[in-house]
Amino acid sequence: MAQVSQVDGIRLIHVAQPGLGIVQVEVVIESGSLQDPEGLEGLANLTASMLLRGTKTCSYRKIMGSVNDLGATVEAEAQKDAIVVAGDVMPRYLDRWAAIMADVLAHPTFPADAFRQERSLILEDIRNLRDDDAELARHFFARFLYRGHPLGRPTMGYAATVAKIRRKDCETFYRGHVRKGNVVVVVAGDLDRAGAETLARTLTAGIPDGPRDVPALPTPPALKGLRVLIVDKPDRTQTQVALGHPSIAWRDPDLFPLLVGNTAMGGTFTSRLVREIREVRGWSYGVASSITAGRDFGTLVVHFFPNTKDTVPAIRLALDMLRDAAAHGLPEDEVAFARDHLANQFPFRVETSRKRADEVLADLLYDRPAGFLDGYIASVKAQDVGAVAAALHRQYRPDEAVIVVVGTAKDLVDDLKSIPGVASVEVVPYTADALP
């Protein structure tokens, strides 16, 4: 049973699993890459990577050596919405591990030598991204769809902006965003409620008081017509395609019928898009349509990877299928299969204390409706053909979408311009840092 409470100004999520033999902990600071200053994209990511690099009393070697001696783990990462410091530890070593983590959270020093090393590693990761066409498609899709919007900025940052970040910037970002109101401590596993509260107090003892401060995201830019971006990578015989548009918030009444409908469209290996693009025509081995809901809005994206010669026919078909679903809905057998799939898969999302705790964390971070988890299966099963059709009609907008294609531009540009409804086609080299 998950419990959520306030402990000394911080939010605590606790899910006990007695006898597990391990305690799993996350300290979540609600300031991620969405709060990166313009021109310093990648700052939250670099700040997170520096948290374990040393404190006033402990070097990186001592921190990691002490954690390893306990048979424990620790890691720090930045996400869009948060910086997360997480680890696992056996109950008998919990106090010693917690003392190390409290020091990391309260007294990071961002040492200069380590800063230069971490910045170089991140810059190398950005360069390596260019070797992975699927990752390029995902990154450029977000940048293109949300151009000029915080969601369009990659968490890793751009090479040009990461190179400008200085050690002092990381320290300023951390001190400016870390306050108790912005912190959620997540404790799962072999620890009782009293122990979880004591742990939360220990971990956050050195974090200053202060209210939660999570700026609302601006409304994403309106889309008019189909906009196409070709990420030009010469000598490719295959492409990576991502198409979609802004979508739904967690609290939207259309959430559950849309989840069912979109699962029927492209959420399973036997779904409609998979059947028509993969099975019938053999244009792409994989096809998927996903909805990522958010606090204020989310994203719909359809992804597939055809041969170059099949790219435009596959895009045309995908758009036509989305239009058809929006206009006419889906048949009962497809809706029923998707409904059963979502209901049957849900128990795996909450099968461990850690998974359930993370779902409760999503409730807090994304303002999901009260009772979302406990009522999930019933809400899915309540969706019928009519509700799904109405949601798809309201939420699918295939003629107001972006299409990103990673491939060889000279083999694609003319045919992409011929797709009905295309308002613009842009081309950028795959080595481009940010969009112009």
pLDDT in tens, 227-252: 999 999 999 999 999 999 999 999 99
Mean pLDDT in residue range 409-428: 97
Task: Assess whether pLDDT exceeds 90 at residue 436.
Answer: no
The rounded distance, in Å, linking the Cα atoms of 251 and 264 is 21
* Cα angle, residue 337 at apex, residues 268 and 287 outer, rounded to 5°: 20
Cβ-based neighbour number of residue 336 at 10 Å: 17
- The order of strands in the sheet holding 299-304 is 287-292, 299-304, 240-246, 402-407, 226-232, 422-429
Q: What is d(CA 314, CA 238) in angstroms, rounded to the nearest whole number? A: 12
Same domain? For 276 and 137 the reply is no
What total of structural domains would you count in the chain?
2
Q: What is the mean pLDDT of residues 299-322?
A: 98
Q: What's the whole-number mean pLDDT along residues 249-273?
A: 97
Query: Are 385 and 317 part of one and the same domain?
Result: yes
Secondary structure (3-state) at 258: helix
Q: Is residue 435 part of a domain?
A: no
Structure tokens at 79: 């996400």
Start-to-end CA span in the chain (Å): 49
Report the pLDDT averaged over residues 208-216: 91
Give me the residues paired with residue 232 across strands: 407, 429
245, 105: one domain = no
Mean per-residue pLDDT, 250-268: 97
pLDDT, average across residues 46-75:
97
Residue 216: pLDDT over 90: no
pLDDT per residue over 318-362, tens digit each?
Answer: 999 999 999 999 999 999 999 999 999 999 999 999 999 999 999
Distance CA 102, CA 57 (A): 12
* Average pLDDT value for residue range 26-42: 96
Same domain, residue pair 320 and 181: no
Nearest to 145 by CA among 301, 367, 316: 301
Residue 86 scores a pLDDT above 80 = yes
In a domain, 124, yes or no: yes
Q: Do 345 and 419 share a domain, yes or no?
A: yes
Mean per-residue pLDDT for 202-213?
96
pLDDT at position 352: 95
Q: Does the pLDDT value for residue 30 go beyond 80?
A: yes
Q: Is residue 220 part of a domain?
A: no
Confidence tier at 20 by pLDDT (50, 70, 90): very high
pLDDT at 222 over 80: yes
> What local confidence, expressed as pLDDT, does residue 215 receive?
86
pLDDT of residue 15: 97
Q: Does some domain include residue 334? A: yes
Q: Tell me, what's the pLDDT at 214?
A: 87
**Does 413 have pLDDT greater than 90?**
yes
Give the C-alpha separation, 195 to 185, whole Å.
13
Q: Give pLDDT tens digits for 94-139.
A: 999 999 999 999 999 999 999 999 999 999 999 999 999 999 999 9
Are residues 146 and 236 located together in one domain of the fold?
Answer: no
pLDDT of 1 > 80? The answer is no
How confident is the model at residue 434, as a pLDDT?
86
Cα 194 to Cα 196: distance, rounded to the nearest angstrom: 5
Q: State the Cα–Cα distance between residues 212 and 208, nearest whole angstrom.
A: 12
Q: What is the pLDDT of residues 131-186, one digit of tens each?
A: 999 999 999 999 999 999 999 999 999 999 999 999 999 999 999 999 999 999 99
Residues 72 and 184 in one domain: yes
Query: Which residue, of 204, 239, 261, is where some domain finishes?
Result: 204
* In a domain? residue 269: yes
Q: Is the domain of 127 the same as that of 33? A: yes
Domain harbouring 367, CATH code: 3.30.830.10
Query: Does residue 276 belong to any structural domain of this protein?
Result: yes
When pLDDT is cut at 50, 70 and 90, the band that residue 14 belongs to is very high
Residues 302-307, mean pLDDT to the nearest whole number:
98
Report the C-alpha gap between 328 and 325 in whole angstroms: 5
* Residue 279 confidence (pLDDT): 96
Which of 137, 170, 204 delimits the end of a domain? 204
Kindly state whether residues 258 and 364 are assigned to the same domain: yes
| pLDDT of the residue at 34 | 96
> Residue 63's pLDDT band (boundaries 50, 70, 90)?
very high
Task: Return the pLDDT at 3.
Answer: 87
User: Residue 381: which domain range?
Assistant: 226-429
**Same domain for 54 and 16:** yes
In degrees and rounded to multiples of 5, residue 241 shows phi and psi of -120, 135
**215 inside domain:** no
Instruction: Specify if 256 maps to a domain.
Output: yes
The beta-strand segments (E) located in 23-108 are 23-29, 75-78, 83-89
Tokens of 43: 């700052």
Tell me the average pLDDT of the chain: 96
Q: What tens digit of pLDDT does each residue of 417-426 get?
A: 999 999 999 9
List CB contacts of 249: < 8 A, sequence separation 6 or more.
255, 293, 294, 295, 296, 297, 298
Q: What is the pLDDT of residue 2?
A: 84
Q: Are residues 32 and 176 in the same domain?
A: yes
Regarding whether 45 and 121 lie in a shared domain, the answer is: yes
What is the Cα–Cα distance from 156 to 165, expressed in whole angstroms? 12
